[in-house]
A and B are shown apart, each in its own frame.
Chain A
Amino acid sequence: MTGYIFRRVLQAIPVFFGTTFLIYFMVFAMPGDPVLALFGDKTPSPAVIEQLRQQYHLDQPFIVQYFIYIGGIFRGDLGVSFSGQPVADILARTFPVTIRLAILALLFETVAGILVGLISGLRKGKLFDASALTISLILISLPIFVIAFVAQFVFGVQLGWARTTVGPGAPIQDLVLPALVLASISFAQIVRLTRSSVIETSGLDFVRTAYSKGLSRKRIIPVHILRNSLIPVITYLATDFGVLLVGATVTEGIFNVPGVGNTLYQAIIRGEGPTVVSFVTVMVLLYLVVNLVVDLLYGLLDPRIRFVK
């Protein structure tokens, strides 16, 4: 297992440098003045421009700029936002909210998704299965901002069950509706993935062997069918985290949840280029870390991975 962890961490290093380089390259290797480009049609004050030039060391050659920037990341210096606040400070304030929202969403999508997928897979072709498949297909087709608006309109405006905006310092129950919206698309994917995984596993030889040993269905379903079906679901959760990040940006923005996503959302809407770049970088790094953690978790779930030399 230590060998596996070591190898997996080693693999993450080139990806870390690759992704940060790529983002940096996209922004600063473009033709023209990168600083002016970041502001789009806005005209920043000369002082702000000068500050940015210093922050990104634009007087240095490109590759040097990159390494200075990477050095900053390692020291926890993520740059300064448009309004002059250190990005790290904004993160410290907004991150806990986003974590709460993300955990709620993850909880909804995995628990409900796996449960519905399992029942669907075990009752393939029945009414429950057919409805679950149809509903999940429709959910997948709805862009997240459409779901967010519909939820806001129906539950917030018409039924009045939830607040349409959350705002700073809101209690956790106000996060339920945004979390459900955020969870919806992944929920649908998890239902479909669990379902097909359960059907496939149920047909495998070792399940029949488990029955032939005299085990009951009540034991075989969790121990042999569900346990094995979870492996692809966990892998999916890792790649799905990217969707969750984008979803969080849109959802937090629409519901005005004061989290990391909302900060990015506001920066995008206002065209504050430097803040956008900083926060996208933060999210990509988060994505890398989550993928690494899930991969290690995967090693725990699947002994075949763990013991490969």
Chain B
Amino acid sequence: MSATDATPAKSAETPLLEIKNLQVGFQTQRGMVTAVNGVNITLMPGKTLAIVGESGSGKSTTAHAIINLLPGSGRITGGEVLFEGRNIAALDEGQMEKIRGRMIGFVPQDPMSNLNPVWSVGFQVEEAIRANGIATGKQDVKKRAIQVLSEAGLSDADKRLKQFPHQFSGGMRQRVLIGMGLSSNPKLLIADEPTSALDVTVQRRILDHLEKLTRESGTALVFITHDLGLAAERAEQLVVMYKGKVVESGPSREILQNPVHPYTQRLVAAAPSLASRRIQSASKPLEDLGYEATRVTEGVDLIAAAESRVDAHAAAATAPIAIAVKDLSKVYKIRGGKGSASTLNAVDGVSFEIPRGTTMALVGESGSGKSTVAKLLLRLEDSTSGEIRIDGTDTAPLKGKSLLALRRKMQPVFQDPYGSLDPLRNIGNTIAEPLGVFNVGDKKSRRARVDELLDQVALPKSLVTRYPNELSGGQRQRVAIARALALKPEIVILDEAVSALDVLVQAQILQLLSDLQAELGLTYLFITHDLAVVRVIADNVSVMKSGRIVEAATTDEVFGNPREEYTKELLDAIPGANIPLGV
């Protein structure tokens, strides 16, 4: 690979970080497996750079390699990591300790697992300050810890020092981790998906804060993310990684407007955050850029999908109502401390209607009650009050055979691709289970139906004898969809069904769902926390907050003309929403 392409125009300044032809391998039973293969990255002091890629692309491994914290058997097998001109990949453990924290700070991904549960938050911040010699003496260290945490946006920092991580919310823990990463005034901060485990609105506030802090202190930032929109919004420079290699790097805006490598083009086309903003990619035909290959078309173009949906929506307006929910409430009793019981209104007077053959998205952050609505609809739990009518029939009194008939009409697909299939049953038996429960057909016709269903979800028939652990997350969700469709239901409840998938796979499944709806006339209730994907799949949107629906309208209205403050906040929080791009 020619490294010259990656080097910016000669500058008087030396780069803060320069990664040259980095190779990282993991020792496995079958020998060395290369995870990062020839990565070149250059970062100037005070600048921001984002590394984007899917899971397994090597983006996190690259980040960990910089501070030599590779997990397990991983190690750097080649190349250099120059920090202020010094190759830190060659340092021993003792020398590296002096670099970590003091020179290069690190903010990890999952706020839930990155704080030690048995020590107080104050202890964990203070030990970092003491280790890096930022302050000595009990009082000074404590003062600095309070300062660091307040700067990271934690209110009442002095009181919170004594508290333990489990007493903090996810957002607060992430602020603690950011505070720790910045506690010793490093010149470089590496943030590894620092907010992907958080709700979008929290994510936005924390990233805004992180940006402000690094800008004020002149700290350079390497930002790892799977979200292209987020990367482009937050970083000046982009590095796109695929299968351990850098496929494209350069100024963020330019890459977004003019993605050259076919993989980057795919990512741009599939990123829901960008698609929902209808960004037109102004890419040139590949031939002009020296590529022999013609433009890759097997990726999914979400923008096109979103546009075709608008047409379909008009036709569905007169369809009969499939799901009608009126004043639905669910109250949970929770046992409080010392025997006192309190109640939680998980769902509080929710009403909506979904016309047959359309999709309604139910959007909300964690704890908004959206998944409880799904459970009530599916009669997995009973409502406290209110009414659910499916095709005009009140579902509450249904029992025995009539309840089975309802279940046959309505099937769910859940979020977790690793938990949605029974690991001990092969794919054929899994898809055929509903047929067995309802005694549909004989052995032969069931097998034929399984083949047909596999075909519908674009999986090879040879999978019938295979087990779930042999499939990827996206493939498992396809099997889950096939099982849901086995009984030819009218309604499918999709509870975060694509949330755990990589963007390209997510786009592919969204496309599949869209196609199946057109083909089979399905009605979808699409439950998600991610407003970005709503645009491409839903006709109507209901926004939920604290058990109530705060706004309900057509998708175009919600995106174009949101009325509620909360909806606006959610829209603003979609990464990439603020990128001023010529449309």
Q: Which residues of A contact B (CB under 8 A)?
A: 3, 203-206, 208-217, 219, 223-224, 227-228, 231, 301-304, 307, 309
Contacts and interface: CB of A to CB of B under 8 A. Distances in A.
* Interface class of chain B by DSSP: loop
Interface in B139-190: 164, 166-167, 177, 180-181, 183-184
A307 to B, nearest CB: 7
A214 B128 contact: yes
A209 B97 CA distance: 12
A228 B132 CA distance: 23
Contacts of A303: 117-118, 120, 164, 166
Given A206-B113, A212-B69, A302 B127 contact: no
Contact of B131 (A215, A228, A302, A307): A215
A236 to B, nearest CB: 17
Contacts of A204: 113
Given A214-B128, A214-B132, 18 more contacts: A203-B72, A205-B108, A205-B114, A206-B115, A208-B108, A209-B106, A210-B116, A212-B105, A213-B100, A213-B180, A214-B99, A215-B127, A216-B94, A224-B116, A228-B117, A303-B117, A304-B166, A309-B336
Given A212-B69, A212-B101, A214-B102, A206 B166 contact: no
A302 B118 CA distance: 6
Contacts of A223: 119, 127
Contacts of B419: none
Contact of A309 (B105, B108, B184, B337): B337
B131 A216 contact: yes
Nearest to A301: B118
Contacts of B333: none
Nearest to A304: B166
Nearest to B115: A206
B117 A214 contact: no
A212 B100 contact: yes
A3 B337 contact: yes
Interface string B368-394: 000000000000000000000000000
Which among B114, B116, B131 has the greatest number of chain A C-beta atoms within 10 A?
Answer: B116
B74 to A, nearest CB: 12
B101 A205 contact: no
A3 B131 contact: no
Contacts of A212: 67, 69, 100-101, 105-106, 108, 181
Contact of A214 (B98, B108, B338): B98
19 contacts: A3-B337, A203-B71, A205-B108, A205-B110, A206-B113, A206-B116, A209-B177, A211-B69, A211-B100, A213-B101, A213-B131, A214-B184, A215-B101, A216-B97, A227-B118, A227-B119, A302-B117, A304-B166, A307-B166
B470 interface: no
Contacts of B97: 214-216
Nearest to A227: B118
Nearest to B184: A214
B298 interface: no
A6 B164 CA distance: 22
Contacts, number: 92
A264 to B, nearest CB: 39
A34 B110 CA distance: 63
Interface residues of B, number: 40
Contact of B115 (A209, A214, A215): A209
A136 to B, nearest CB: 24
A304 B164 contact: yes
B93 interface: yes
A217 B68 CA distance: 14
B32 to A, nearest CB: 17
Contacts of A301: 118
Nearest to B98: A214
Contact of A219 (B106, B110, B127): B127
A307 B338 CA distance: 13
A208 B109 CA distance: 11
A206 B99 CA distance: 19
A210 B117 CA distance: 13
A228 B100 contact: no
Contacts of A217: 93
The 10 closest A-B pairs by CB, nearest first: A214-B101, A309-B337, A212-B106, A213-B128, A205-B113, A303-B164, A214-B100, A206-B116, A209-B114, A205-B114
Residue picked from B106, B181, B184, most chain A C-beta under 10 Å: B106
Contacts of B131: 213-216, 219
Contacts of B114: 205-206, 208-209
B81 to A, nearest CB: 15
Contacts of A205: 108-110, 113-114
Interface string B126-139: 01100110000000
A281 to B, nearest CB: 33
A219 B99 CA distance: 17
A125 to B, nearest CB: 11
Contacts of B110: 205
Contacts of A3: 337-338
A85 B413 CA distance: 71
A206 B105 CA distance: 15
A246 to B, nearest CB: 32
A12 to B, nearest CB: 18
B128 A307 contact: no
Nearest to B167: A307
B333 to A, nearest CB: 15
A258 B93 CA distance: 55
B88 to A, nearest CB: 13
